A and B are shown apart, each in its own frame.
Chain A
């Protein structure tokens, strides 16, 4: 869920930007190092980023009949790793603001924090934690919880900015969270299922691609691959 342009008070907007910057610096340094070592990495990362942009623009069907978009944070995090995903996600969010008027420039920091930092890290953490139970299960929980975490953070950001006149932060959290819970839990499950379909297809047919972006290493699939050969 993008927080729209101008919605956050200036102090909040600035604070979330400050919170996001260290993650972006780490990710950008990593990208700069990878591209120095391997010139082609730039081409690969840009392709991955363009893919992420398009993925987030695809409409997913939802149970209520209305349409929504996948966050793609889970898929991005397991495919490319969370620190690189922070930077790619930030660029995607900037492009969404400038090309689709989706989100905003003043709220970019807050949106980066929820969608390009917390979402991918939660997804990645889940993936590593649940991985022993199988790649499919791990991908499902990674994508689902990554999606939910993004929404929880957004809810928290809104509640902090607009505490309820009567019941304060807790009330606002309940108020905003209540709305999201209804629509968001089914969407998170759908995103989880969707991501499983994608990763299964890639594991079946695009092993080399996965290898190239480092997924094999992260998922510990390398050995299985040797055994297949």
Chain B
């Protein structure tokens, strides 16, 4: 249903403490965004790809597929940064060397950053990242809602796919007019079912003593000092190299 999620649960690192991956991917993301892109971005891209594919054992094809769509959008958008618009009496577009430089930087930075997002997403289930929101001050009820949303969205997605298929089988998307109507019916149905599910969930949870808190046990995961140190060292090396090389590059 959601391929990224499947890898997040089944990769080699999925038994490790999520903090290790957050440090590595989050740290690299930060470096990619703040350090000079020309020198840093390629390094980040290489390290993150290696970590995800060689380290966590996510297939390279899956990693590239995850990057493909956002990278496609990126490529489509960059030319507009390289073009300048003259708004004078006769408005016209022209190639701008300054703009091209910005486009190059943005393109590299964004691609590197995307690899960090993809690396984190492919190795760490969302449900292991959300509890961390508590630490940045998100209130407990909102964290609980987010966790429950994560669980429910698979149920709703399943219904959406089934509903769409049933509609297509009866030619519900033949014309634009009919498509809008069919999609509207699908959305309204999903809304009704979502609320109905919330009511049944309430019964199911009440039977297990629900009185407002959605507290569960999470098996303790040990933060590995070795891996944390390795991630820290990687960050330091990438950061230092990026900064140093950045001085020699234009």
Distance in angstroms between the alpha carbons of A57 and B187 in the assembled complex: 11
Interface pair B87/A171, CB less than 8 Å apart: yes
Q: Does B236 contact A (CB under 8 A)?
A: no
Q: State the Cβ distance, A154 to closest chain B Cβ, in Å.
A: 12
Interface pair A39/B150, CB less than 8 Å apart: no
Interface pair A194/B180, CB less than 8 Å apart: yes
Distance in angstroms between the alpha carbons of A48 and B145 in the assembled complex: 10
Give which listed residue, B99, B141, B185, B191, contacts A209 with CB less than 8 A: B191
Give which listed residue, A75, A167, A198, contacts B86 with CB less than 8 A: A167
Q: Does B33 contact A (CB under 8 A)?
A: yes
Q: State the Cβ distance, B178 to closest chain A Cβ, in Å.
A: 9
Among the 9-residue stretches A93-101, A112-120, A218-226, the one with 4 or more Cβ atoms under 8 Å from chain B is A93-101
Q: Main SS of the interface on chain A?
A: helix
A190 closest partner in B (C-beta) = B180
Residues of B within 8 A of A174 (CB): 85, 87
Instruction: Give B113-157 interface residues, CB cut-off 8 Å to A.
Output: 113-114, 116-118, 120-121, 126, 129, 138-142, 144-146, 148-150, 152-153, 155-157
Residues of A within 8 A of B4 (CB): 98-101
Instruction: Give A167-214 interface residues, CB cut-off 8 Å to B.
Output: 167, 170-172, 174-176, 179, 190, 193-198, 200-202, 205-206, 209, 212-213
Interface pair A197/B113, CB less than 8 Å apart: no
Most B C-beta atoms less than 10 A away, residue of A46, A94, A202: A46
Interface pair A46/B152, CB less than 8 Å apart: yes
Interface pair A42/B121, CB less than 8 Å apart: no
Distance in angstroms between the alpha carbons of A79 and B173 in the assembled complex: 26
Q: Does A129 contact B (CB under 8 A)?
A: no
Give which listed residue, A43, A97, A195, contacts B201 with CB less than 8 A: A43
Interface pair B85/A101, CB less than 8 Å apart: no
Distance in angstroms between the alpha carbons of A166 and B33 in the assembled complex: 26
Contact A39 B211, CB 8 Å, known A101-B66, A194-B184: yes
Contact A165 B117, CB 8 Å, known A106-B29, A174-B87: no
Contact A205 B192, CB 8 Å, known A61-B176, A99-B126: yes
Residues of A within 8 A of B197 (CB): 47
Interface pair B139/A53, CB less than 8 Å apart: no
Instruction: Give A34-74 interface residues, CB cut-off 8 Å to B.
Output: 35-36, 39-40, 42-51, 53-55, 57-58, 60-61, 63
Distance in angstroms between the alpha carbons of A193 and B182 in the assembled complex: 12
Q: How many A-B residue pairs have CB under 8 A?
A: 239
Q: State the Cβ distance, B114 to closest chain A Cβ, in Å.
A: 5
Q: State the Cβ distance, A25 to closest chain B Cβ, in Å.
A: 9
Give which listed residue, A42, A63, A200, contacts B141 with CB less than 8 A: A42
Q: Main SS of the interface on chain B?
A: helix
Q: State the Cβ distance, A21 to closest chain B Cβ, in Å.
A: 10
Q: Does B179 contact A (CB under 8 A)?
A: yes
B100 closest partner in A (C-beta) = A165
Chain A to chain B contacts (Cβ below 8 Å), 30 pairs: A4-B73, A6-B113, A35-B145, A39-B210, A43-B148, A46-B148, A47-B194, A47-B197, A54-B157, A61-B173, A61-B183, A79-B191, A91-B142, A99-B2, A99-B121, A99-B126, A101-B121, A106-B29, A165-B96, A166-B84, A167-B87, A171-B87, A194-B187, A196-B184, A197-B184, A197-B188, A198-B184, A198-B191, A201-B188, A205-B188
Top 7 A-B residue pairs of the complex, sorted by shortest distance between their CB atoms? A6-B113, A197-B184, A39-B212, A46-B148, A50-B152, A201-B188, A6-B110
Question: Apart from A5-B117, A28-B138, A58-B164, what 8 extra A-B contacts exist at CB < 8 Å?
Answer: A6-B109, A36-B212, A39-B210, A43-B148, A50-B152, A101-B69, A174-B85, A202-B192
Interface of A toward B, CB cutoff 8 Å: 4-7, 10, 13, 28-29, 31-32, 35-36, 39-40, 42-51, 53-55, 57-58, 60-61, 63, 75, 79, 87-88, 91, 94-95, 97-102, 104-106, 162, 164-167, 170-172, 174-176, 179, 190, 193-198, 200-202, 205-206, 209, 212-213
